[in-house]
């Protein structure tokens, strides 16, 4: 199912109030597996490709190998922070695009937190490895609130993540401009709305608002729910099961991520960065119990290595 702009329908079947107000029929339920391709192993490698948005979040090692011929697809790479497990795949990814047989000149935009030493190190490394090469890359330093357009109706916006670093660390959300009936006209009948629009113009009855279609916290303590409110899809750090296992306040627990998703009323939550200390066969039932008891009603998945595991 494709919308006119090429964006797939969301991957959930729980229409929100906004969807009703839009008068849009969200009948198509694209599979999450068709939307996200990624890898998550804390301290080893982390990256996620949102395919309909052609957006990569982070660039951990192995990225270009996993993408294969799709290495030319992403148009924007958004780096959340300068830690190696989110960055070490960037030179290889860039080189595969440039020296492989494909779209060698396809432009790439890399957005990253302003003043990140890790990103600057990757740039220097690329410049020294390939001194005569002009990579078609635009580098954009971001601060919380900064935006980069993604096509005509969407923008990538940075927000502050809580990763305890002296350097800036960021999460990202993709905001889509949508139209709806002005809330103060909700009591009018369809005919009354139509008459008013004919008399005063469409702008007199319609509002433009922005809806979060995708949000990614990067590595972070629980983010304020307002930063990800009503997102169709939220990817949240969920490193720990028990807050007592957390030595430094730089990562969230599964329970905290679920609480953010519940309070923000997101449709689909993907947990990532789950610590390798947990034996999976033993732990997944516990995670499923936490999901079931959390009060969060949406879809819930875990990205674990390259697998997306349904937690419902």
| Residues at the site binding Zn ion, with contacts judged by CB under 5 A | 83, 219
Integer Cα distance of 225 and 297 in angstroms: 15
The 10 Å Cβ neighbour count of residue 172 is 25
The per-type count for the chain, helices as H runs and strands as E runs, is 8, 14
Contact at 8 Å (CB) between 10 and 213? yes
Q: How far is the CB of 42 from Zn ion (least distance, A)?
A: 8
Q: Which is nearer to Zn ion, 96 or 217 (CB)?
A: 217
**Between 58 and 299, CB nearer to Zn ion:** 58
Q: State the nearest-atom distance from the C-beta of 204 to Zn ion, in Å.
A: 49
Sheet holding 137-142, edge to edge: 36-41, 45-50, 55-57, 76-78, 108-113, 137-142
* Minimum CB distance to Zn ion, residue 275 (Å): 13
Q: How far apart are CB 311 and Zn ion at their closest, in Å?
A: 23
Question: What is the distance of C-alpha 275 from the center of its chain?
Answer: 20
Question: What's the closest the beta carbon of residue 239 comes to Zn ion, in angstroms?
Answer: 10
Residue of 204, 246, 221, 219 whose CA lies nearest to 87: 219
Contacting residues for 123 by C-beta, under 8 A, at least 6 apart: 139
Output 61 or 219, the one with its CB closest to Zn ion: 219
Choice between 9 and 116, CB closer to Zn ion: 116
Report the side by side order of strands in the sheet with 206-216.
147-150, 154-160, 170-181, 206-216, 233-237, 268-272, 299-304, 307-310
Report the residue number, 219 or 227, with the smaller CB distance to Zn ion: 219
Nearest approach in angstroms of CB 81 to Zn ion is 6
Q: Which CB sits closer to Zn ion, 31 or 276? A: 276
């Amino acid at each position: 199912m494709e919308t006119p702009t090429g964006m797939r329908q969301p991957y959930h079947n729980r229409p929100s109030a906004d969807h009703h107000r839009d008068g849009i029929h969200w009948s198509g339920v694209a599979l999450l597996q068709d939307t996200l391709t990624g890898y998550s192993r804390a301290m080893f490698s982390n990256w996620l490709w949102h395919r309909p948005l052609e957006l990569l979040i982070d660039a951990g090692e192995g990225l270009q190998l996993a993408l294969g011929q799709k290495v030319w697809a992403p148009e924007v790479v958004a780096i959340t922070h300068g830690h190696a497990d989110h960055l070490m795949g960037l030179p290889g990814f860039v080189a595969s695009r440039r020296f492989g047989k494909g779209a060698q000149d396809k432009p790439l935009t890399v957005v990253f937190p302003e003043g990140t030493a890790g990103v600057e190190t990757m740039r220097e490394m690329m410049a020294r490895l390939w001194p005569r090469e002009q990579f078609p890359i635009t580098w954009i330093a971001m601060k919380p609130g900064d935006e980069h357009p993604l096509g005509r109706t969407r923008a990538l916006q940075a927000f502050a993540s809580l990763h305890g670093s002296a350097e800036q660390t960021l999460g990202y959300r993709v905001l889509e401009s949508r139209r709806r009936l002005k809330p103060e006209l909700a009591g009018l009948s369809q005919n009354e709305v139509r008459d008013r629009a004919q008399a005063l113009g469409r702008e007199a009855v319609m509002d433009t608002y922005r809806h979060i279609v995708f949000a990614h916290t990067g590595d972070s303590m629980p983010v304020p729910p307002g930063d990800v409110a009503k997102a169709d899809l939220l990817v949240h750090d969920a490193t720990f099961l028990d807050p007592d296992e957390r030595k430094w306040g730089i990562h969230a627990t599964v329970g905290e991520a679920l609480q953010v998703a519940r309070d923000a009323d997101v449709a689909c939550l993907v947990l990532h960065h789950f610590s390798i200390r947990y034996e999976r066969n033993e732990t997944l039932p516990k995670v499923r119990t936490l999901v079931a008891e959390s009060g969060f009603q949406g879809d819930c998945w875990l990205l674990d290595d390259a697998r997306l595991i349904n937690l419902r």
